[in-house]
Structure 1
Amino acid sequence: MSEQSTGAPSRALPVVAVVGRPNVGKSTLVNRFLGRRAAVVQDVPGVTRDRIAYEALWNGKSFTVVDTGGWEPKATGMAASIARQAEYAMKTADVIVLVVDSSVGATETDLAAARVLRRSDRPVILVANKVDDERGESNAAELWKLGLGEPYSVSALHGRGAGDLLDLVLDAMPEAPREAEPVGGPRRVALVGRPNVGKSSLLNRLAKDERSVVDSVAGTTVDPVDSIVTLGGEEWRFVDTAGLRRKVSTASGTEYYASLRTEAAIEAAEVAVVLLAADEVISEQDQRVITQVIEAGRALVLAYNKWDALDEDRHHQLEREIDRDMSRIAWASRVNISAKTGRGVDRLAQHLRAALASWETRVPTAELNTFIRTLVQGTPPPARGGKAPKIKYVTQADVRPPRFVVFSTGFLEAGYRRFLERKLREQFGFAGTPIDISVKVRETKAKDRFTS
């Protein structure tokens, strides 16, 4: 059986975070977990700067494994930086795997990480990596001093002990993944965008005009700020985040951790408002923020700020830019506002509600398959290698965001998967939410359910 996917792994799976300082072999271990070379591996510190999620399968159980950037021992405020990453891992993972280079031994960075992880209510598995033979076992034994229990010896490079480690990881997993946030309370909105597009101005407008801020937690200039505001007669929790100035892979120091916290704010939210400056050209940075939201599987509202400042020429130019640069997210909800004057701000509530409703929509299986059957009969999948695949069955596996699984007798071309997505949107809506379509290929001689 093979599988295709158009999106990130489902959030319904348990999450295993692989953490540690730079160049201890985290990405190599992730590749062992996956059984393939997916994570980038290079013998220099800091290759993995972003957190990247992959779907893994072991002994019939699926889970998400997260490859994290190394804890930088030379970053400003080393202990604080280590604590932020370790604490984030504790909040989002079901199992934490701390990787230590046994050939070097426990460094000050490892000790600092262990101090934080010892306070975790998540299971922590200590991995002594680079134990290539029995002689290396004595070095691994020294890692008991980290206070995280027995160090488990592996060689991620050569695969030694990898299978037994995976068994240990599965044993540590809870029956069901943890909820990222408690159910109930105000809907969570991440307010994101590049610097100077008016995010803080918009949040201040919402808070000041409604006079209903009931809690406000301010951090440094790079920390998110949470505020509960009343909008459209409903309370919402808005998170104002630091502007994303550059790619996480090229950011450093404080900016690197600011980028991680911005990404964390998106993942902790249910819907993201991406604020764009209507009087400026849509940039690569804008596109990158939008991609972050989509890859996190969050509902999406595009808010074009400073709309009242546009002249007629800029209006026409912006519409052309949207047609050209935003065609891939034509489904995104769009609202034109002015944070300065308050114009259009009240309309945000209806766009947020609509996007969240789409995000949580579930199509009944019978209705879904009746629609797909008719669609496939009119436009069957194109042949590949002289043989046309047949779609047997479709089910909606999840919501938040909607995730569909197509059971087929063969590979479906990317163009046909885009066709399916477009038709699903035309039939069932899904305005304001990404949807994920994965294809499970199952060769069978049984009569196809959709053949007439």
Structure 2
Amino acid sequence: MTDESLEGLDGTWSDESEWAEFDEAAAEGDEAPPKPQPVLAVVGRPNVGKSTLVNRLLGRREAVVQDTPGVTRDRVAYDALWNGRRFTVVDTGGWEPDAKGLQSAVAAQAEMAMHTADAIVLVVDAKVGATATEEAVARVLRRSKRPVIVVANKVDDERGVADVHSLWSLGLGEPMPVSGLHGRGSGDLLDKVLEALPETPREVFGATGGPRRVALVGKPNVGKSSLLNKLTGEDRSVVHDVAGTTVDPVDSLVELDGQVWRFVDTAGLRKRVKTASGTEYYASLRTKAAIEAAEVAIVLVDGSEPISEQDLRVITMVVESGRALVLAYNKWDKVDEDRRHQLEKEIDRELVRVRWAERVNVSALTGRSVAKLAPQLRTALDSWDTRISTGRLNGWLNELVAAYPPPARGGRQPKIMFATQAQTRPPTIVLFTTGFLEAGYRRFLERKFRETFGFVGSPVRISVRVRERKAKGKR
């Protein structure tokens, strides 16, 4: 844990009555599970403006948009709201009937979205018209028995309306002229979408309680998408030897060890968000947002390679976000005895600040120990949700400080008056003192705190509030 993360609630206090304020703080409860929503799939060939249209339907910038064709590669779900009705919009990769390699996997994702959606929007570039690809897509859609809306995109003004009529030849009904870039016709399209969508989805997935949210993060090509596919038992995320295949976070409901979890596969992080550019910049923002929206993160590390600066950066991002943490060392089928000894040395040297994190050695390729992830996730989340009573906390602290008093600073030794756990998620301990506590002593307190109370798998924040000195009045 970095020293900066220890200072989140530092400040001053002047009255012990503030103790009561923190003592009343209680852990937040789980959110109520969301109601099932109908699903709208947005499909079409590459670079017809699907992601731009999705952002227009959502009313916010969510899907990654760039002039380069093929930026969207997985099917990605977003929550949408129009006229008081909520539904899910699924953005897909470009559909090519004769695709090979990576594009073939992308096309498979688009086809799966079509089969699982309640209604479908087929996006066509009005300036190009119906190509052989659109005609092939139309043949598939006519067999899907789902409501289909043909959108003639990039109709930015009245001059482009004449080009729309040729799309009647697809045999999918009246095409709608829309400009995803400027918003022309988007309101009428949303009204038609609501007419096509059922009140409830045809297929409902869920659990008796709200699934715990798990972010799957790591550097590029470490095996995140392969692990997600192994967990789901299907090709949920596009997997390819090309690093950086995943751009958007991908949500999946996964049943693991008798419990349903909501997994989010994220883009591999190469650079810091501030130094990334283009698609990588937006992917970094999505990954950061996915971590912050999750409750626990599985950081996937390639066990067959030395721990890299990228691995440390991802771990630091999770810790600073205050999320529970599980470290999964992937590709264990490639790790021999020598590499295991070397890895243990690297962990002791590089990951000394996260010794509290849960660890599991897995292989996304063979499925080795994948089932062990669930107990580790539960342990980390239990710690993340745990609250220690003020009385118990202060009894422990008084004994510890008596044996190991804080070091003097500026000739004065600070005293710790009392402590309280201000919050959970992550557990945050606030110390009310007469002086500043050195960062080294805070780390010592955290280590002793963990030895006594556990908190395996969860970051713990130690914050200090120094008592203000009252000015002496003149006699």
TM norm structure 2: 0.55
Structure-1 residue corresponding to 2:434: 409
Q: Does 1:429 align with 2:441?
A: no
Cα displacement (A) at 1:246? 1.5
Look up the SS of the partner of 1:431 in the other structure.
Answer: coil
Cα separation, partners in 2 of 1:400 and 1:414, compared to 1, 3 Å: same
Structure-1 residue corresponding to 2:156: none
Alignment of 1:121-136 (within 5 A): none
Cα separation, partners in 2 of 1:296 and 1:353, compared to 1, 3 Å: same
Inter-partner Cα distance in structure 1 for 2:218 and 2:445: 30
Q: Does 1:205 align with 2:230?
A: yes
Cα separation, partners in 2 of 1:272 and 1:78, compared to 1, 3 Å: closer
1:248 to 266, 273, 277: 273
1:328-387 C-alpha deviation (Å, 9 max, x unpaired): 110010000111111110000000000000001100110000000000100111111111
Cα displacement (A) at 1:221? 3.8
Q: Does 1:189 align with 2:224?
A: no
Structure-2 residue corresponding to 1:330: 355
Letter paired with 1:372: L
Structure with higher RCO (Cα < 8 A, 6+ apart):
2
Alignment of 1:149-188 (within 5 A): 185-188=210-213
Look up the SS of the partner of 1:315 in the other structure.
Answer: helix
2:339 to 305, 314, 317: 314
Letter paired with 1:206: L
Cα displacement (A) at 1:247? 1.6
Stretches of structure 1 lacking an aligned partner (at least 5 in a row): 11-75, 90-118, 122-182, 446-452
Cα separation, partners in 2 of 1:382 and 1:257, compared to 1, 3 Å: same
CA RMSD of aligned residues (A): 3.1
Question: Does the CA-based 8 Å contact 2:55-2:61 persist in structure 1?
Answer: no
Look up the SS of the partner of 1:248 in the other structure.
Answer: coil
Letter paired with 1:245: R
* Bigger Rg, structure 1 or 2: 2
Once the two structures are aligned, what percentage of the paired residues are identical?
A: 63
Cα separation, partners in 2 of 1:255 and 1:191, compared to 1, 3 Å: same
Q: Does 1:381 align with 2:406?
A: yes
Inter-partner Cα distance in structure 2 for 1:410 and 1:84: 54
Inter-partner Cα distance in structure 2 for 1:422 and 1:358: 15
Structure-1 residue corresponding to 2:298: 273
Structure-2 residue corresponding to 1:442: 467
Inter-partner Cα distance in structure 2 for 1:311 and 1:366: 49
Structure-1 residue corresponding to 2:250: 225
1:194-242 C-alpha deviation (Å, 9 max, x unpaired): 011110110000111xx7x9xx799x94111111011011000000001
1:45-80 C-alpha deviation (Å, 9 max, x unpaired): xxxxxxxxxxxxxxxxxxxxxxxxxxxxxxx99978
Inter-partner Cα distance in structure 1 for 2:8 and 2:59: 22
Structure-2 residue corresponding to 1:395: 420
- Give the paired residue count: 282
2:262 to 232, 237, 244: 237
Q: Does 1:357 align with 2:382?
A: yes
Cα separation, partners in 2 of 1:423 and 1:350, compared to 1, 3 Å: same
Cα displacement (A) at 1:248? 1.5
Cα separation, partners in 2 of 1:410 and 1:321, compared to 1, 3 Å: same
Cα displacement (A) at 1:250? 1.6
Stretches of structure 2 lacking an aligned partner (at least 5 in a row): 10-48, 63-81, 85-207, 239-244, 471-475
Cα displacement (A) at 1:249? 1.8
TM norm structure 1: 0.58
Cα separation, partners in 2 of 1:443 and 1:234, compared to 1, 3 Å: same
Inter-partner Cα distance in structure 1 for 2:386 and 2:446: 15
Structure-2 residue corresponding to 1:132: none
Q: Does 1:299 align with 2:324?
A: yes
Cα separation, partners in 2 of 1:226 and 1:77, compared to 1, 3 Å: closer
Question: Does the CA-based 8 Å contact 1:402-1:434 persist in structure 2?
Answer: yes
1:398-418 C-alpha deviation (Å, 9 max, x unpaired): 001100100000011111111
Letter paired with 1:192: V
1:409-431 C-alpha deviation (Å, 9 max, x unpaired): 00111111111111110000011
